[in-house]
């Protein structure tokens, strides 16, 4: 009898813990504004060197082993200096990340983004370019890029053409134009993303990371 009570108590405690864990894992009803505020706060911690490394402990690991519910999708550059989990001080299960050189999006990348937007109901996609991007610099330099690097450069070329001759730094201008192009590409990507954007369930924003200040600025 005593044993049964103990088992019941243990089961109850386990259930309470499990409910608590699943509640903690749910960023349900996180709005795009809240998600962006969370990214902004994390970047501020990175800029000021006050990292808290959230959600990387054994508890979080066990929690996300049961499922994920990321609060943002980041489409960033593969550049080794711009890791989204690092520059936004986020942990396991927080952000769904797609990275390609020059943060360009092909069908495979788009499929990954659509999966996260549709499956997890993520409220915001942040396209993250950065200063002195090597892929964008290659596109600005022109000429024939070797091998499949040409596929990356080809995707960035419209941004280079659009900003050619404009005042300011050619690479910086092209970085920002390229981010805007990818933002527009995602907003209009049928059938999944465009429908989510139209219904107000998904926001797509562009941003630029400054290698010198470590700050991420949203592009208007």
Q: Interface with Zn ion includes 133 (CB under 5 A)?
A: yes
Spatial contact of 183 and 206, defined as CB atoms under 8 Å apart: yes
Sign of the Cα pseudo-torsion (140, 145, 148, 149, in order): negative
Q: How far is the CB of 76 from Zn ion (least distance, A)?
A: 8
Query: Which of 130, 120, 128 is closest to 206 using CA atoms?
Result: 128
64 in Cβ contact with 26 (< 8 Å):
no
* 172 touching Zn ion, by CB under 5 A: no
Give the strand order in the sheet containing 203-209.
95-100, 72-77, 124-130, 203-209, 216-219
Nearer to Zn ion, 27 or 102 (CB): 102
Query: Considering the rule CB under 5 A, would residue 89 count as an interface residue with Zn ion?
Result: no
Q: Residue 204: helix, strand or coil by DSSP?
A: strand
Distance in Å, CB of 39 to Zn ion, minimum: 19
CB nearer to Zn ion: pick between 177 and 197: 177
66-85 residues near Zn ion, rule: CB under 5 A: 77, 79
* Residue 49 beta carbon to Zn ion: minimum distance, rounded to whole angstroms: 23
Q: How far is the CB of 156 from Zn ion (least distance, A)?
A: 10
CB nearer to Zn ion: give 82 or 204. 82
Q: In the complex, which residues of this chain contact Zn ion (CB under 5 A)?
A: 77, 79, 133
């Amino acid at each position: 009898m005593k044993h049964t009570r103990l088992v019941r108590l243990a089961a109850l405690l386990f259930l309470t813990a499990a409910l608590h864990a699943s509640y903690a894992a749910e960023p349900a009803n996180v709005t795009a504004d809240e998600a962006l505020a969370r990214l902004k706060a994390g970047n501020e911690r990175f800029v000021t060197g006050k990292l808290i490394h959230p959600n990387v402990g054994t508890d979080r690991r066990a929690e996300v082993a049961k499922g994920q519910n990321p609060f943002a999708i980041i489409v960033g550059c593969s550049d080794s200096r711009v890791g989204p989990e690092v520059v936004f001080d986020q942990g396991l299960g927080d952000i769904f990340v797609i990275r390609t050189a020059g943060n360009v999006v092909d069908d495979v990348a788009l499929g990954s983004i659509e999966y996260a937007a549709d499956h997890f109901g993520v409220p915001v996609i942040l396209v993250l370019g950065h200063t002195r991007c090597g892929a964008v610099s290659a596109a600005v330099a022109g000429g024939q890029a070797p091998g499949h690097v040409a596929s990356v450069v080809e995707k960035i070329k419209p941004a280079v053409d659009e900003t050619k001759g404009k005042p300011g730094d050619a690479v910086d201008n092209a970085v920002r134009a390229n981010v805007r192009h990818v933002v527009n590409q995602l907003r209009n990507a049928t059938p999944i993303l465009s429908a989510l954007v139209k219904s107000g369930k998904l926001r797509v924003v562009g941003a630029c990371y400054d290698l010198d200040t470590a700050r991420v600025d949203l592009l208007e």
